[in-house]
Amino acid sequence: MDDAYEKALNYLSVKDRSQKQITDYLIKCGFNDAQIDECIEKLHEYNFLNDRVYAHNLMYKLKNKDYSLAMAEAYLKKEGIEECSIEEVLRLLGDEYEIKSLNNFLLKELRGKKINNALVNKVKSKALRNGFRNFYLEDALIDTAHKLTEEEL
């Protein structure tokens, strides 16, 4: 178990990880289930491993990206975060986060370009593919167009 614990600590020393990431890593290193379970328990005991805290840390990272809530959810799932922690993070991020992210996304996509129907449709499609909800898209496009028009003046 000490070898598994040392491997896990070294893996955690690079950056925070989820329990799933640690478990997958230890399996890849060839440790058996009993060793892994004991190691995970010890990591929890010393508070080196806490998926809820890890999810909240990722939330602050997500706030600096222009992800939709759907993309944020997919990112958290990919990181191995449990569903209850994902729901908590998404609730804390809220609709305001998605609206802000959508506005930033649209500004990046439209700034410095001649706005026409073809471009607007292309950007709308890209926003929808990125998981932004259509519910917010029309208003955000109008707001962004006004901001860009004001910048040009």
Q: What is the mean pLDDT of the chain?
A: 91
For residue 59, being part of any structural domain is answered with no
For residue 96, being part of any structural domain is answered with no
pLDDT of residue 1: 58
Structural domain count, the chain: 1
Taking a C-beta distance cutoff of 8 angstroms, is the pair 7, 29 a contact?
yes
Taking a C-beta distance cutoff of 8 angstroms, is the pair 102, 67 a contact?
no
What pLDDT, in 10s, does the model give residues 99-108? Answer: 999 999 999 9
Two tokens at 143? 């707001």
Taking a C-beta distance cutoff of 8 angstroms, is the pair 52, 22 a contact?
no
Q: For residue 22, give its domain range.
A: 1-49
For residue 15, being part of any structural domain is answered with yes
* Cβ neighbour number for residue 19 with a 10 Å cutoff: 17
What is the per-residue DSSP string for 3-71?
HHHHHHHHHHHHS---HHHHHHHHHHTT--HHHHHHHHHHHHHTTS--HHHHHHHHHHHHHTS---HHH
Listed as ranges, residues in the chain with pLDDT below 50 are: none
- The CA-CA-CA angle for residues 25, 56, 127, to 5°, reads 95
CATH assignment of the domain containing 43: 1.10.10
For residue 55, being part of any structural domain is answered with no
